[in-house]
Amino acid sequence: MKRARIIGLGHYVPPKVVTNEDLAKVMDTSDAWIRERTGIQKRHFVEDGMGTADLAFEATKKALQDSKKEAKEIDFIILATLSPDYFFPGSGVLLQEKLGIDSIGALDIRTQCTGFIYGLSIADTMIRAGQYERVLLVGSEVHSTALDLSTRGRDVAVLFGDGAGAALLEATEGDQGVLSTHLHAEGRYAKELWVEAPGSLNPVPILNLEECRHFPKMNGREVFKHAVTRFIKVIQEALEANHVTKEEMDLLVVHQANLRIAEAVREYLRLPPEKMYNNIQRYGNTTAASIPMALSEAKAEGKLKEGDLVCLAAFGSGFTWGSALIRW
Ligand code: UT7
């Protein structure tokens, strides 16, 4: 049976490092508060003129190198982001242009923190159907240019960072690859974590910038509670669908929203620390980019070996959440 297999990974963060102490200079926060509540020590921010497609391009070059493939061998592009370069068109076509590959399809996904899992599901389905041989899947985010970097926005602003992660997927007939994906959404929670404007209901001409509706807003405690329970459920869903136990899982990579959330999930599942990979300490929450960035680093550190059973899970704005089980 055909399925998609990740044959190359790459990640990229812009050079500028922003520490917790740097944030404490522009808002009422502290290194101690941020570390204790989130585990984050630093994040990367772009300099002026660098956009989401630029980060995606850098990560893609590394994924192509890792897979020993060339851009022209890609049949389709999927780019997940909540921070596109423009309102439209999406950043997928911009990435296509940078890669110099004409006229292949390019799809943007807007399911926020769950974007990589949704993209993986779509790519796998396309490959299983025989539509494409090779699909490029990228999560890329520039948060820094749209955060309220003042005390008013500190609950959200200290969490996020910029970065991109890319995966090249290829059709395989063997035992390796994506075993299953599980996607969920519940729109009644849309306003628990959102950017309200600008949008079709609140277009720029009527927008009062002093109301700050253009900055991300989050009901942190509510999102935290839902995140922990839904992460656990959707991981269990993936394991049950494949008739495997959590003990058989070699590595769990959850969307890097908060180290406390990841640890709560790991402790509930009674997994030893070495079975979970986290890098939020260095990058903050990079939403759609966080899972491919973590996979790329885990691979580079030798923590992903052929035959490993790897579970991915994400939860975030929408609410959207999902999981994937992969035989590496
Ligand atoms: O990726 C998408 C999914 N996102 C998430 O999963 C995030 C989920 N939520 C969280 O991670 C946590 O709720 C936060 C890290 C955002 C906040 O942690 P918390 O332990 O829930 O803190 P809190 O919101 O209950 O705030 C505690 C206190 C408040 O002060 P009072 O009311 O107790 O006086 C806040 O005003 O901390 C204050 N506070 C801050 N203090 C210093 C909020 N943000 C900050 C800050 N620095 N940056």
pLDDT of residue 29: 98
Catalytic-role residue among 20, 113, 258, 311: 113
pLDDT of residue 141: 98
Give the amino acid at 88.
F
Report the Cα 159 to chain-centroid distance in Å. Answer: 14
Mean pLDDT of the chain: 97
Q: Find the helix or strand (DSSP H, E) in which 225 lies.
A: helix 220-241
pLDDT of residue 181: 98
255 part of the active site: yes
Residue 227 CA, closest ligand 1 atom number: 6
Residue nearest to atom 18 of ligand 1 (CA): 37
Rounded Cα distance between 10 and 59, Å, is 5
Q: Collect the ranges in the chain with pLDDT lower than 70.
A: none
Rounded Cα distance between 169 and 8, Å, is 7
Of 304, 248, 256, which Cα lies nearest the Cα of 279? 256
CA angle 130, 315, 116 (to 5 degrees): 30
Catalytic-role residue among 11, 143, 182, 255: 255
Which residues line the pocket of ligand 1, CB cutoff 6 A?
29, 33, 37-38, 113, 154-155, 158, 220-221, 223-224, 227, 257-258, 261, 285, 316
- Two tokens at 44? 């990367």
Rounded Cα distance between 175 and 327, Å, is 7
Domains of the chain in sequence order: 3-174 (3.40.47.10), 178-327 (3.40.47.10)
Hunting for tokens 């585990």 — which residue is that?
Answer: 39
Of 111, 123, 48, 46, which Cα lies nearest the Cα of 80? 111
Residue 227 Cα to ligand 1 midpoint, Å, equals 14
Of 258, 271, 190, which Cα lies nearest the Cα of 224? 258
pLDDT of residue 102: 87
- Two tokens at 72? 């022209």
pLDDT digits (tens, 9 = 90+) for 78-106: 999 999 999 999 999 999 999 999 899 99
- Two tokens at 52? 């989401």
311 part of the active site: no
pLDDT of residue 198: 93
